[in-house]
Structure 1
Amino acid sequence: MTLDTDVLIVGAGLSGLALAAALRAGGRELAVLEARGRAGGRVLSAGGYDLGPAWIWPHQHRILRLARDLGLRTFEQHSAGRLIFENAQGAVRRDLDMAPMAGALRVAGGLARITDALAEGLGGALHLSEAVTGVRETGAGVIVTTAQRSWTARQAVLALPPRLMRPMGLQVADTPTWMAGHAKLIAVYDRPFWRDDGLNGDAISHRGPLAEIHDASPEDGRAGALFGFALPGAAAAEDFAERALAQLSRLFGARAGAPDAMHVKDWSTDPATATAADRVPPHAHPLYRPIAPTERLVFAGTEAAPTEGGFLEGALEAAEAAFRHLAANITPLEATTRT
């Protein structure tokens, strides 16, 4: 079998991009296939505001080191002030001295600055809008099929949620994809005016449609922003945006109901993120475990990370494990006949 490349990585999220960068630095030949028309996976920023993951915790040394190596700055999540609580009947309290995300860190300009930088470094090795439909091992390598063509490689790395591998013909566990069933709304204002009232931007609501709200403003306060996680399924309603703005207005005042801009991302309807099973979120953070590699396939999504599974740090943890496996088990390509 003639080969197109040495290592083929399926998925250009943080894990796949970080692994590709490490392999290229070591002189390996590779290609990265991504179903979406952009790199980044579940990392997505709009106008510098994060529509996917937003936080890094101080103990997550891999992602903090990567941000630092890329010359990006982090800052602490705003936490000064009081939290708002709304019960199911609509009663509201604004006197709670709580900040659930105090101590978390954010990347200035949005987390997509990390994935964008990694993707840029790959150049022509990154192939967008190539959704994989099948993966098959052979005695000499692996064949990966997309709508456009078939790719052949010595080894393939699946850097994506396990549930997305099943339609490719791979028998993997039905592992929940963390946060895949959620939607996120960001409302942008000229300034973080809620802070004037002693509020920190945090809110917990049992009424919805937003279940949890936080301050998403830039560090310097040159603009204000609130983001909210929608209750499962709420974003599918036609009046979701209207109801969300009404909720922001009743919690933070009339100004919150008239943002200068608004961004919404419903991850549960994104076929490159979620399956139908992901629209019913797990009740608690799943216990993630490594997926044992086969002779030709390695698994490297964040849901395969045993310590930080589901998080950005887990994506890098899984990428590190895949890199070690490839380094230990794959011999140089020089002896292989290729096209």
Structure 2
Amino acid sequence: MKPETQICVIGAGLSGLALANTLLAEGRDVTVLEARDRPGGRVFSPQGHDLGPSWIWPHNRRMQALLDKLGLHRFPQYATGRLVFEDAKGAIRRDLDLATMGGAWRVAGGLAGVAEVLATRLGNKLRLSCPVHSIAQDAGGVDITTDDGPLRAAHAVLALPPRLASGLGVSVPDVPTWMAGHTKLVATYSTPFWRDQGLNGDAISHRGPLAEIHDASPADAAEGALFGFAHPGAAREPGFQDASLAQLARLFGADAAAPGAVFFKDWSADPATASPADRTPPTGHPAYLPLPPDGRLIFAGTEAAPEDGGFLEGALAAAEAAHAHIAAIVN
């Protein structure tokens, strides 16, 4: 059967979107399939608040170049003031001159702005709410089954976590999906009031339910925002949100108990991100290795990047590697 599309990119996260834009600019026939009803994958910023990745670092040359290309503004993570530390028994210190994310940058309006621009440029080449159920290849192409029916492509790029690819019938190593077992919570306020107390919004807690907290306010401080990473599994406990707000009040004062809004995302419960195995996060950052092509199947996604694997920069590195392979084999 003749392929309906030259290259099918499965997954509209950062890697898939970046790769598809490059291929489309070269005049290649591309179709992008995404299970979610939005682009971005783990890049997710409801109302401008990042519930996925938040930071870009000075050494992230690919991300910096992409932001410049797209005309998106970055600003420094707030880092002036002291960190709050809470031990396992609830004892609190507020005298530590430490900013754990000092030197990082954030994207004005949220990182989802990157995905939105890239997705818009793809137009009708991007199909949202189109989960893939199985993939099978033969000598002439790749057969992909979706909710919209079958699709045949000459080549397929799997721009998604390897553990999800294995669920589609693809043979791939069991590679942990970075941060897939975590939950992120954002609480917003009328002002970043903790700054007036000489605090920078950073907190480390061994009591929880939030383990690590940071200032997530916009560049102009027109409102205040704190975000926290939950201890693994904490978000599945009853009363997680209430316990998180009580913790913010312990750490930053009574004003933190009454946010204007609360957003949180338990990534371990998202089937487009995590497998059941991801509910137990790795104890450290995995040493990601390149995933070599398998016939007509090409692997992208940040967990396929040996350089900055698991991070935004790794997603772009994986897209570069996939593009290089396609350029070498596809006329």
Q: Normalising to structure 1: TM-score of the pair? A: 0.97
| TM-aligned CA deviation for residue 4 of structure 1 | 1.0
The answer for the alignment partner of 1:314 in structure 2 is 314
The answer for the alignment partner of 1:231 in structure 2 is 231
Give 3-state SS (helix, strand or coil) of 1:24's partner. helix
Q: Which amino acid aligns with 1:151?
A: L
Distance, in Å, in 1 between the alignment partners of 2:160 and 2:251 is: 37
Give 3-state SS (helix, strand or coil) of 2:31's partner. strand
Deviations 1:121-160 (CA, angstroms, capped at 9, x unpaired): 1111101111111111111111111132111011000000
The answer for the alignment partner of 2:137 in structure 1 is 137
The answer for the alignment partner of 2:23 in structure 1 is 23
The answer for the alignment partner of 1:56 in structure 2 is 56
The answer for the alignment partner of 1:96 in structure 2 is 96
Deviations 1:6-28 (CA, angstroms, capped at 9, x unpaired): 00000000000000000000000
Give 3-state SS (helix, strand or coil) of 2:167's partner. helix
Q: Does 1:124 align with 2:124?
A: yes
The answer for the alignment partner of 1:335 in structure 2 is none
Deviations 1:278-316 (CA, angstroms, capped at 9, x unpaired): 011101000001101022010001000011100000000
Distance, in Å, in 2 between the alignment partners of 1:259 and 1:327 is: 50
Give 3-state SS (helix, strand or coil) of 1:94's partner. strand
The answer for the alignment partner of 2:169 in structure 1 is 169
Distance, in Å, in 2 between the alignment partners of 1:289 and 1:163 is: 14
Number of equivalenced pairs: 331
Distance, in Å, in 1 between the alignment partners of 2:46 and 2:10 is: 25
Distance, in Å, in 2 between the alignment partners of 1:245 and 1:95 is: 22
| TM-aligned CA deviation for residue 3 of structure 1 | 1.4
The answer for the alignment partner of 1:156 in structure 2 is 156
Q: Which runs of 4+ in 1 moved over 3 A?
A: none
Distance, in Å, in 1 between the alignment partners of 2:237 and 2:4 is: 45
Structure 1 unmatched ranges of 5 or more: 332-339
Q: Which amino acid aligns with 1:31?
A: T
Distance, in Å, in 2 between the alignment partners of 1:17 and 1:252 is: 39
Distance, in Å, in 1 between the alignment partners of 2:231 and 2:294 is: 38
Give 3-state SS (helix, strand or coil) of 2:221's partner. coil
Q: Which amino acid aligns with 2:222?
A: R
The answer for the alignment partner of 1:283 in structure 2 is 283
Q: Which amino acid aligns with 2:89?
A: Q
Deviations 1:191-233 (CA, angstroms, capped at 9, x unpaired): 1000001000000000000000000000111110000000101
Q: Which amino acid aligns with 1:329?
A: I
Distance, in Å, in 1 between the alignment partners of 2:146 and 2:236 is: 30
Q: Which amino acid aligns with 1:105?
A: W
Q: For structure 1, which segment, 186-195 or 139-148, has the greater mean C-alpha deviation from structure 2 after superposition?
A: 139-148
Structure 2 unmatched ranges of 5 or more: none
Q: Which amino acid aligns with 1:84?
A: V
Distance, in Å, in 1 between the alignment partners of 2:326 and 2:170 is: 20
Distance, in Å, in 1 between the alignment partners of 2:304 and 2:81 is: 37
Distance, in Å, in 2 between the alignment partners of 1:246 and 1:84 is: 15
The answer for the alignment partner of 1:147 in structure 2 is 147
